Amino acid sequence: ETGVTQSPTHLIKTRGQQVTLRCSSQSGHNTVSWYQQALGQGPQFIFQYYREEENGRGNFPPRFSGLQFPNYSSELNVNALELDDSALYLCASSFASVSTDTQYFGPGTRLTVL
Amino acid sequence: GQQVMQIPQYQHVQEGEDFTTYCNSSTTLSNIQWYKQRPGGHPVFLIQLVKSGEVKKQKRLTFQFGEAKKNSSLHITATQTTDVGTYFCVYTGNQFYFGTGTSLTVIP
């Protein structure tokens, strides 16, 4: 049991809509990272939040945005959904933002865009 | 950008056979982590390697970091059906980069 939770489990949206995904980090962790995992692919880093500030971003357009709250939970927002946004969205929490820290992944949110 | 390739992409083995996946980088890595993702599941941390030439063992799993810190391997001895999943090497720079993954199928 990793302690990282995500909601919702599954979500179906249509192209052009907006979506918000949520993540609660493991107790004691102040860093949350978000990943997109397309079917049959490895997770791709979207961005990381450390103490409520964005602390690194992957190669994703600005319509992917996020927030981290004082309790270190986090949201991922995606605007103007496209068909290619269909994927498993994973969040991972870690104790700190250092590169050697272990990440603990949540179960993911499966997003389908029609 | 930096990319880490894993080979093979897929591997089918009979239960009891050994399995090895390799992770290769064109540049020197500061450290490397290995994760396992079961079908329908999420990545789970296995090990981290930091030192050149480092070898670590976890029961039937042996992890190795190359002397030049450009490659790593994961070897599983006498595979079991519980070993099924995709194994990712992950290197860290200013973010976490997942390798392409090796999907292991174990045939009972």
Q: How would residue A97 be classed by pLDDT, with cut points 50, 70 and 90?
A: low
Residue with tokens 């020197």, as numbered in its chain: B28
What's the token pair of residue B64? 């190795």
Percent of chain B with pLDDT over 70: 97
Q: What per-residue confidence (pLDDT) applies to B107?
A: 96
User: Do strands A53-57 and A64-68 pair parallel, antiparallel, or not at all (unpaired)?
Assistant: unpaired
Of A33, A56, A100, the CB nearest to B50: A100
Chain B contact set for A6 (CB, 8 A): none
* Residues B44 and A105 sit within 8 Å (Cβ to Cβ): yes
- Report the distance separating Cα A88 and Cα A45, nearest Å: 12
Judged by CB atoms closer than 8 Å, whether chains meet at A90 and B93 is answered as: no
- Report the distance separating Cα A61 and Cα A113, nearest Å: 17
Q: Using the predicted structure, report yes or no on whether residue B94 has a pLDDT greater than 80.
A: no
Q: What per-residue confidence (pLDDT) applies to B91?
A: 87
Which candidate in B96, B98, B100, B105 is best for mutational testing of the A interface (most A CBs within 10 A)?
A: B96
Q: What per-residue confidence (pLDDT) applies to B95?
A: 75
**Higher pLDDT, residue B93 or B107:** B107
Give pLDDT tens digits for B12-53: 999 999 999 999 998 898 899 999 999 999 999 999 999 999
Judged by CB atoms closer than 8 Å, whether chains meet at B94 and A103 is answered as: no
* Average pLDDT score over residue span A37-42: 92
Secondary structure class of A84 (helix, strand, coil): helix
Give pLDDT tens digits for A49-84: 998 999 889 999 999 999 999 999 999 999 999 999
Residue of B nearest to A108 (CA): B42
Q: What per-residue confidence (pLDDT) applies to A2?
A: 53
Q: What per-residue confidence (pLDDT) applies to A1?
A: 47
Of A42, A100, A106, the CB nearest to B92: A100
DSSP state of A98: -
* Residues A65 and A18 sit within 8 Å (Cβ to Cβ): no
Across chain A, mean pLDDT equals 93
